[in-house]
């Protein structure tokens, strides 16, 4: 795991800790090569460290495999955020064919009134069920409480068959209750993981765009979510929600033109995406679902003050050309949407095969620093009470976003 600070919000510089155990021997007429043990790197915390509010750490090794526990509970992903005050012990054991390494880190989270917002884009892998799928968890905390809000939950796996992946990641983070579960639009790479999420967490409010579809999996899911959530909301006007740490969400209603079309095509479903502005202090993030040219134009013209001068843009439709360019193809580089949003940073959730597209990737990289899950793995954005922010990625922090292997245009 690599940590690349953009605007440091940590009380102290993130520290990478490594520990290598190795041995040597000799015999016969020569020297036996010294076994090379894995190197364990943990970034974001240090042994004996004390941290205000929540803290995010990431684990990586240079070879072999590893297992990790936090207070004797298995960690299923390479990164984790500790939100609750207390004393904690992280234990990591790594093995390869030659040797073993182990590392223990004791640290404390003391809590702070200002709290912190963590935005996590989960890497759903080479998911051919869509352009890569979305699953974005907002965790907002203060000494007064903690809220989790999940936007989309696609499946993982090449065939989109790992429907339990997002639920498993939430469970590893200790998420048992969601302030909100929001489905941006009616595509499987955005909702197929939601039934398992509903099995594992109580949902206070379920948001969706009200799309009608002749698709049994979708209609069954909507009925299930409607029955199990405490409240169901289909936004018709902008809605505002304030999370526990003071983060403001503005949920923008969908384009209604195609919502009653049971046989709506892919582009029509995408342009019905709900948009979400996430604001904390000076920090502004806009979540786009799979919005394409028509959705972008509506957000720009109808909700211009909510979608301009962004800190971070979550690029629509997994970095497709139709989510970037005015012509939807990238044959012209003109992009009123990117001109309007003027984001300092871009993030993309993509499968690394069909998406992100080459023309879109080139333009995004040229305009602002861009991270994408196909290159960087999980992406986490940490924002303090004043809006100062930093980004942690699972891997390749020094790399630009790259187009998918099959994305030749």
* pLDDT value for 409: 96
104/128 same-domain check: no
Q: Which pTM does this prediction carry?
A: 0.79
For the stretch 61-106, pLDDT in tens is 998 899 999 998 888 788 887 867 788 999 999 999 889 999 999 9
73/120 same-domain check: no
Band of residue 112 on the pLDDT scale cut at 50, 70, 90: low
CA 162/CA 2 separation, integer angstroms = 26
Q: Could you give the 3-state DSSP secondary structure of residue 13?
A: coil
Give the residue among 223, 174, 224, 234 at the shortest CA–CA distance from 199: 224
CATH code of residue 312: 3.60.15.10
* pLDDT value for 18: 36
Asked if the model's pLDDT at residue 170 lies above 70, the reply is: yes
What b-and-e string marks burial along 356-369, b requiring 16 or more CB atoms within 10 Å of the CB? bbbbbbbbbbebbb
144/270 same-domain check: yes
Asked if the model's pLDDT at residue 15 lies above 60, the reply is: no
Domain that holds residue 63: 2-109
Asked if the model's pLDDT at residue 107 lies above 60, the reply is: yes
CA 229/CA 150 separation, integer angstroms = 13
Asked if the model's pLDDT at residue 344 lies above 90, the reply is: yes
Asked if the model's pLDDT at residue 32 lies above 80, the reply is: no
pLDDT above 90 covers a percentage of the chain that reads 75
Residue 187 is assigned to a structural domain of this protein: yes
88/135 same-domain check: no
76/187 same-domain check: no
Poorest-confidence range of 73-82, 132-141, 296-305? Answer: 73-82
The token pair at 387 is 């809006």
Domain count, the chain: 2
Cβ pair 221, 193 in contact under 8 A: no
150/96 same-domain check: no
Residue 376 is assigned to a structural domain of this protein: yes
* pLDDT value for 11: 33
Stretch 308-313: mean pLDDT: 99
Q: How many CB atoms lie within 10 A of CB 323?
A: 29
Distances (CA, A) of 235 to 149, 150, 169, 388: 16, 16, 28, 30
26/168 same-domain check: no
105/138 same-domain check: no
For the stretch 373-383, pLDDT in tens is 999 999 999 99
173/226 same-domain check: yes
100/229 same-domain check: no
* pLDDT value for 5: 38
Asked if the model's pLDDT at residue 240 lies above 90, the reply is: yes
E-strand spans in 253-310? 275-280, 283-287
Distances (CA, A) of 19 to 39, 82, 106, 108, 386: 6, 23, 15, 21, 36
Radius of gyration of the chain (CA): 22
Pairing of strands 283-287, 312-314: parallel
Asked if the model's pLDDT at residue 25 lies above 50, the reply is: no
Stretch 129-137: mean pLDDT: 86
Element containing residue 108 per DSSP (H, E): strand 100-109
| Stronger pLDDT, 216 or 108, i.e. the higher one | 216
261/152 same-domain check: yes
62/156 same-domain check: no
- DSSP per-residue string spanning 87-107: EEEEEEEEE-SS-EEEEEEEE
Stretch 305-314: mean pLDDT: 99
Band of residue 228 on the pLDDT scale cut at 50, 70, 90: very high
Asked if the model's pLDDT at residue 27 lies above 60, the reply is: no
Stretch 168-185: mean pLDDT: 95
């Amino acid at each position: 795991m690599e940590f690349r600070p953009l605007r440091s919000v940590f009380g102290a510089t993130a520290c990478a800790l490594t520990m290598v155990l190795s041995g040597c021997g000799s015999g016969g007429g020569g020297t036996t090569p010294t076994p090379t043990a894995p190197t364990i790197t943990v970034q974001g915390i240090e042994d004996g460290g004390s941290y205000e509010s929540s803290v995010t750490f990431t684990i990586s090794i240079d070879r072999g495999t590893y297992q990790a526990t936090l207070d004797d509970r298995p960690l299923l992903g390479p990164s984790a955020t500790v939100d609750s005050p207390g004393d904690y012990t992280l234990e990591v054991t790594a093995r390869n064919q030659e040797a073993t390494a182990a590392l223990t880190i004791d640290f404390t989270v003391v809590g702070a009134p200002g709290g912190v917002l963590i935005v996590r884009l989960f890497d759903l892998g080479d998911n051919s069920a869509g352009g890569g799928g979305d699953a974005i968890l907002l965790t907002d905390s203060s000494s007064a409480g903690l809220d989790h809000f999940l936007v989309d939950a696609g499946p993982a796996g090449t065939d989109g068959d790992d429907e339990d992946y997002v639920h498993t990641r939430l469970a590893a983070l200790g998420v048992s209750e969601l302030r909100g579960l929001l489905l941006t639009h009616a595509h499987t790479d955005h909702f197929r993981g939601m039934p398992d999420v509903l099995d594992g967490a109580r949902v206070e409010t379920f948001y969706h765009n009200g799309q009608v579809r002749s698709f049994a999996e979708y209609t069954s899911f909507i009925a299930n979510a409607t029955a199990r959530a405490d409240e169901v909301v289909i936004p018709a006007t902008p809605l505002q929600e304030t999370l526990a740490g003071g983060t403001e969400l503005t949920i923008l209603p969908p384009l209604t033109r195609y919502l009653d079309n049971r046989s709506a095509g892919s582009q029509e479903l995408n342009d019905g995406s709900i948009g979400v502005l996430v604001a904390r202090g000076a920090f502004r993030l806009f979540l786009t679902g799979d919005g394409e040219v028509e959705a972008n134009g509506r957000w720009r013209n109808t909700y211009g003050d909510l979608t301009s001068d962004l800190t971070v843009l979550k690029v629509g439709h997994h970095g497709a050309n139709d989510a970037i360019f005015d012509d939807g193809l990238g044959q012209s580089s003109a992009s009123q949407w990117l001109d309007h949003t003027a984001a300092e940073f871009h993030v993309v959730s993509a499968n690394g095969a069909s998406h992100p597209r080459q023309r879109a990737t080139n333009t995004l990289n040229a305009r602002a620093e861009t991270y994408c899950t196909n290159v960087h793995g999980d992406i986490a954005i940490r924002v303090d009470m004043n809006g100062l922010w930093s980004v942690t990625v699972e891997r390749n922090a020094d790399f630009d976003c790259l187009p998918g292997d099959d994305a030749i245009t």
